[in-house]
């Protein structure tokens, strides 16, 4: 037994040493200064601190910090400070060592980063993450101080996702959900395209394993065909590019699995109908004395001399980079086989920035090549949002997320300056993007010299002039006119300030009335007056008086000097109300105790059985996504202790997984042969006499299905429609789709969201 333990120890030590050797080798292949001694010191310290601790998978715990350090070094391109911080990132949280110990051994900067990572580990990214906006604010404040904190946190999450298989399903759904909700958008905003793609694919793999496997298998099956198409396409392009005397590489990039599935869902089409499965990427080395932008257009010219271009698919992110630093020239051409092919043209530097994000930007910035990036502007925006003193937790998360993961538009001021805004931004958003005072005084706008309201949605290329008035001030309905986090925060702040000022003026009016009638303006008297008019809070009473909603009588003496019996009567009524409320509270407490016991009775380590008998008693179907038996689903324990069943892909479920991970359950459907559930089918085809009749006959006669709603629209020889039917499970839907697809003139049939 002792020999076996010693062998395991030797094996673990060798495993750890091999991983560390790989880290050092990768570090030495970078352009960073050689600080191998510091990294070795950090490794030895972390290895000793985590000695004897194992991960759930059974491997030594130190393998996790080593893996995170390798991601930070190899996949993000960061240097020794980040590598050391990654190696030490769990030491303060999981061992007896303190931040002071780290600072004494490794200096202030590494200690600050480790401290930042330790603070946020128990926040929005921790076990008790539900509705804790303060922790997320802490993360973002730390991030704006040193962006490496969030980069290492993203690397930490990436390795956790790569090793997610050792956890139980409910935990997998929780972690995958918050990864999709928060980490992938963060990676996207920081320009970490490769990592963002892997995070999305891994989340999808654990949430929808069957669909993931199906698409993966189809990609493998069509790989040879894609390679043949690529070779035919690439031959003539190589000949042209050789004449430009460029050093370059050309390769085909396959669309990520999650992106393919997402497009299948959005477009309502099968895998076979996704035509942009792959794109061609051309990466060239810079030439001395020639701008990379000009070389991009030279390559563009060479390609369009061979293949016919699709004009509406040109994307020039070379002249105007994306907010996350992405630069490339995209075009789509008709390939030799008659299919559209997307081409991405980049310099080597552009490619490195696209794959490794702003970390690569810093490398160039350090050599005085690159000026300040859009990242600085984004972090400034985040800091402005943090000024909002008391946001609702989930609303705060959503507000931040508005600025994380969104398509962008570019609009112009009358002087020709460009402003970057999220897609869907309005004229009022633009006003606040210019300056808070311009937003607060905005009365309208001129878009392309045409007068438009504040709520007008802008599009790329618009020229916008903001009209203001000194007498204007923010209105409550403005919240509905804006989409950017900055505008929403500024309007909220202005409205609170205006309400506070109005309450102050109202208070002065009431104090003058007290003075006029020679009454003592005590807190008791003012409260009595406020209660008489039905206000529980003095501030609400003051505000209502100022706004004219509560007209005061000529004399308030009578109100304050009511007969004792009236006062007593009021107090008796109030006491009765309080007693009644207490009874209700006791009843509520009993119900809550019962519900708490019910929540505790659910075994979260096992899949929660969605049985036919338990429907509407133990669980209910979420109305946002309406899953049916057989759907990939999860359970959420609501405040009443009841399990609400969502589809795993439901946006609401993703939000719940991110914010209330401890309430998430993995679920398992039992057979449902008596209960029926709603499902919506979309059907498209060639319009012909009798098609509709055939569809209804197949549904009613062959399947005995109850059709709840049928809507069909025919135009120019084609028709499309939606059928809302009652089915027992997903198998019913699949059988119906197979049978209807055999009907002549039906070209597409599939289930869609309601």
Which residues are catalytically annotated? 93-94
Residue 371's contacts (CB-CB under 8 Å, 6 or more residues apart) are 365
Report residue 353: phi and psi, to 5°.
Answer: -65, -40
88, 6, 76: which is closest to 39 by C-alpha? 88
Q: Is 252 helix (H, G, I), strand (E, B) or coil?
A: strand
398, 397, 391, 403: which is closest to 432 by C-alpha? 403
Beta-bridged to residue 633, according to DSSP, are: 647
DSSP H or E run through 463: none
CB-based contact 141:621 (threshold 8 Å): no
Please count the other Cβ atoms lying within 10 Å of the Cβ belonging to residue 181. 23
Q: Is 556 helix (H, G, I), strand (E, B) or coil?
A: coil
**Axis-axis angle for helices 348-356, 358-366 (nearest 10):** 130
241, 189, 195: which is closest to 358 by C-alpha? 189
Reading across the β-sheet that carries 608-610, which strands appear in turn?
A: 608-610, 664-669, 633-637, 643-647, 619-621
CA distance 75 to 360: 10
Please count the other Cβ atoms lying within 10 Å of the Cβ belonging to residue 531. 14
Three-state DSSP string of 711-741 = EEEEECCEEEEEEEEEECCHHHHHHHHHHHH
Query: How far is CA 311 from each of CA 308, 360, 736, rounded to the nearest angstrom?
Result: 9, 32, 41
CB-based contact 145:376 (threshold 8 Å): no
DSSP string, 24-93: HHHHHTSSS---HHHHHHHHHHHHHHTTT-B-TTSSBTTHHHHHHHHIIIIIT---HHHHHHHHTTTHHH
CA distance 708 to 720: 17
Beta-bridged to residue 444, according to DSSP, are: 467
CB-based contact 279:224 (threshold 8 Å): no
Q: Is 336 helix (H, G, I), strand (E, B) or coil?
A: coil
CB-based contact 369:344 (threshold 8 Å): no
Vertex 103 angle, CA 101 and 108, to 5°: 165
Task: State the Rg of the chain over Cα.
Answer: 32
**Axis-axis angle for helices 485-516, 427-434 (nearest 10):** 80
CA distance 668 to 653: 16
Pairing status of strand 664-669 against strand 450-452: unpaired
Q: Is 13 helix (H, G, I), strand (E, B) or coil?
A: helix
DSSP H or E run through 749: strand 746-752
């Amino acid at each position: 037994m002792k020999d076996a333990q010693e062998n395991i120890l030797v094996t673990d030590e060798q495993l750890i040493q091999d991983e560390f050797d790989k880290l050092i080798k990768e570090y030495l292949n970078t352009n960073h200064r050689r600080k191998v001694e510091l990294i070795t010191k950090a490794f030895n310290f972390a290895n000793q601190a985590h000695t004897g601790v194992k991960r759930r998978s059974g491997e030594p715990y130190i393998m996790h910090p080593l893996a995170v350090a390798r991601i930070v070094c190899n996949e993000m391109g960061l240097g020794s400070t980040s590598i050391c911080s990654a190696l030490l990132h769990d030491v303060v949280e999981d061992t007896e060592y303190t931040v002071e110990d780290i600072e004494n051994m490794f200096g202030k900067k590494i200690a600050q980063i480790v401290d930042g990572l330790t603070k946020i580990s128990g926040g929005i990214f921790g076990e008790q993450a539900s509705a804790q906006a303060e922790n997320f604010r802490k993360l973002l404040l730390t991030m704006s101080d040193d962006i490496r904190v969030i980069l290492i946190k993203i690397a930490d999450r990436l390795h956790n996702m790569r090793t997610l298989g050792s956890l139980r399903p409910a935990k997998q759904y929780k972690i995958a959900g918050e990864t999709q909700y928060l980490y992938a958008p963060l990676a996207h905003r920081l320009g970490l395209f490769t990592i963002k793609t892997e995070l999305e694919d891994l989340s999808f793999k654990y949430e929808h394993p069957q669909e993931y496997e199906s698409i993966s298998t189809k990609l493998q099956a069509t790989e040879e065909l894609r390679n043949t198409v690529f070779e035919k396409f690439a031959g003539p392009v190589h000949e042209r590019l050789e004449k430009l005397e460029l050093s370059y590489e050309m390769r085909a990039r396959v669309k990520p699995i999650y992106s393919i599935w997402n497009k299948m869902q959005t477009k309502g089409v099968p895998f076979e109908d996704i035509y942009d499965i792959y794109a061609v990427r051309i990466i060239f080395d810079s030439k001395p004395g020639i701008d990379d932008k000009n070389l991009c257009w030279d390559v563009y010219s060479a390609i369009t001399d061979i293949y016919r271009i699709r004009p509406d698919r040109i994307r020039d992110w070379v002249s105007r980079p994306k907010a996350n630093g992405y630069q490339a020239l995209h075009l789509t051409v008709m390939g030799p086989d008659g299919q559209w092919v997307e081409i991405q043209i980049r310099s080597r530097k552009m490619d490195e920035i696209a794959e490794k994000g702003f970390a690569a930007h810093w490398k160039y910035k350090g050599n005085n090549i690159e000026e300040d990036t859009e990242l600085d502007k984004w972090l400034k925006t985040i800091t402005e949002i943090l000024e909002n003193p008391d946001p609702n937790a989930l609303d705060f998360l959503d507000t931040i997320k508005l600025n994380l993961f969104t398509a962008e538009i570019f609009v112009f001021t009358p002087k020709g300056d460009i402003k970057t805004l999220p897609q869907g931004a309005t004229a009022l958003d633009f006003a606040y993007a210019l300056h808070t005072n311009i937003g607060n005084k905005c009365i309208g706008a001129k878009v392309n010299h045409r007068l438009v309201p504040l709520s007008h949605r802008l599009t790329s290329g618009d020229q916008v002039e903001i009209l203001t008035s000194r007498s204007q001030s923010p209105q409550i309905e403005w919240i509905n006119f804006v989409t950017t986090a900055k505008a929403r925060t500024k309007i909220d702040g202005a409205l609170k300030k205006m309400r506070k000022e109005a309450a102050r003026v109202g208070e002065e009016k009431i104090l003058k009335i007290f003075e006029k009638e020679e009454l003592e303006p005590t807190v008791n008297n003012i409260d009595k007056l406020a209660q008489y008019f039905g206000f529980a809070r003095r501030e609400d009473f003051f505000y209502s008086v100022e706004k004219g909603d509560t007209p005061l009588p000529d004399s308030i003496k009578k109100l304050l000097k009511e007969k004792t019996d009236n006062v007593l009567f009021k107090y008796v009524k109030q006491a009765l109300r309080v007693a009644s409320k207490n009874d209700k509270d006791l009843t509520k407490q009993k119900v809550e105790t019962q519900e708490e016991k019910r929540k505790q009775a659910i075994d979260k380590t096992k899949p929660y059985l969605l049985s036919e008998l338990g429907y509407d008693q133990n669980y209910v179907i979420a109305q946002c996504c309406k899953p049916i038996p057989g759907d990939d689903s999860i359970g959420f324990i609501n405040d009443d202790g009841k399990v609400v069943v969502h589809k795993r892909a439901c946006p609401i479920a993703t939000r719940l997984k991110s914010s209330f991970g401890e309430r998430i359950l993995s679920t398992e459907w039992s057979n449902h042969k008596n209960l029926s559930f709603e499902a919506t089918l979309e059907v498209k085809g060639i319009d012909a006499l009798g098609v509709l009749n055939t569809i209804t006959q197949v549904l009613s006669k062959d399947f005995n299905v109850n059709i709840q709603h049928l809507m069909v629209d025919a135009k120019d020889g084609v028709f499309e429609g939606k059928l809302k039917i009652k089915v027992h499970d997903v198998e019913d839907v699949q059988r119906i789709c197979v049978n209807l697809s055999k009907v002549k003139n039906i070209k597409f049939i599939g289930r869609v969201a309601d």
